[in-house]
Amino acid sequence: MMLPSYLQFAIRKRVLVVFIVLLIIATYLGFAPVLPIPVNDKLCHFVVFFLLSLVFYWVFDLSRRRATQLTLVVCGLVGCVGSEFVQAFLTLRTFDVFDILANLVGCGLSLMINVMYHKRRLEKLHFQRYGRLDSAEDDLELQARESEDADGVNANRSA
């Protein structure tokens, strides 16, 4: 059975390994007993989810829009919000709304950086291929071509 084109994508294995290592470290930090040294808890939450979201965005070879949506769902909802609700059931940790806020700010900032970088990367690719990038119409055409190219690449990979 062949999957629809929007469900076909490549996984960047090296980036996935980095993400898994970061996830293991974050899980340990999130569910370990409270550290004996004073640490700014909100800063730790911000940094951890900034890094996780920064790396997760690039795990799958997707269009900019789909990578953004997937990162929002997985890192934003499941990671940022879900991890705090899980901590509410642990005896060693407590639920804190401000931790969720720090998580979401870290995730959001990394997502903005990724989207801007991804757009610049696509513009550079477009410029190398076609010689110029004129207007917002070119940006729409570029996104359409990117998804067409991705469908063509993915079709070739699955064959």
Percentage of the chain modeled with pLDDT above 90: 41
Burial of residue 46 (CB within 10 Å: 0-12, 13-18, 19+) is buried
Tell me the domain boundaries of the chain: 9-158
Q: What's residue 1's pLDDT?
A: 61
Span 6-28, average pLDDT: 89
pLDDT of residue 159: 47
Identify which has the larger pLDDT, 71 or 159.
71
Q: pLDDT tens-digit profile of 103-158?
A: 999 999 999 999 999 999 988 988 888 876 555 555 565 666 666 665 555 554 44
Mean pLDDT, the chain, integer = 82
Q: How confident is the model at residue 84 (pLDDT cuts 50, 70, 90)?
A: confident
Secondary structure tally for the chain: helices H, strands E: 6, 2
